[in-house]
Amino acid sequence: MARLSDLIEAFIKQMINDMDGTVEIQRNELANMFNCVPSQINYVLETRFTSERGYYVESRRGGGGHIRIRRINFTPEDSYLMHSIASIGDRISQQTAEIFITNFIDYNAISEREGLLLKAAVNDKTLSAVAPDVRDRVRASLLKNMLMSLLL
């Protein structure tokens, strides 16, 4: 028998397919449908609908809050970016981030202008307000999210 997480994942993927790649759901409604707690829905979203798997998830909290899940369709350049996003991990140094960005420009995955903006965003000077012991984590998160936004 399939685990509850597998069933929720399959249900959401079917909704995405039926809605041409983008779906909006309400966490509580989905939890009620599967007779589970909303944190189970969060778990599925955080582990099964990641950027590395080709999904972009936006969450709006509050009374009318919803979750929008968008499947990303890739060009060859996008595939290179997705592979890179997956390989960045949870932390990255400024030097390594700049190497990645330079390679993105060289492979025409991003424009030179986009590369300059990315480099400015992940620079140690820009992140100077962030504690040094978490700076590489923030940089990795920032870089991955900015790259994902370029894929949308």
In angstroms, the CA 85 to CA 80 distance is 9
pLDDT 10s per residue in the chain (152 long)?
A: 469 999 999 999 999 989 888 899 988 899 999 999 988 988 998 888 887 677 888 887 766 568 889 887 766 667 777 778 888 889 999 999 999 999 889 888 899 999 999 999 999 999 999 999 999 999 999 999 899 888 77
Closest CA to 82 of 20, 150, 135, 140: 150
In this structure, how many other beta carbons lie within 10 angstroms of the beta carbon of residue 134? 12
Q: What is the pLDDT of residue 64?
A: 57
The 8-class DSSP code of residue 82 comes to H
Domain 4-71, classified CATH 3.30.56.130, yes or no:
yes
Question: Domain 76-151 carries which CATH code?
Answer: 1.10.1200.150
Q: Are 22 and 71 in contact (CB under 8 A)?
A: yes
- The amino acid at residue 127 is L
- The amino acid at residue 76 is P
- Per-domain residue ranges for the chain? 4-71, 76-151
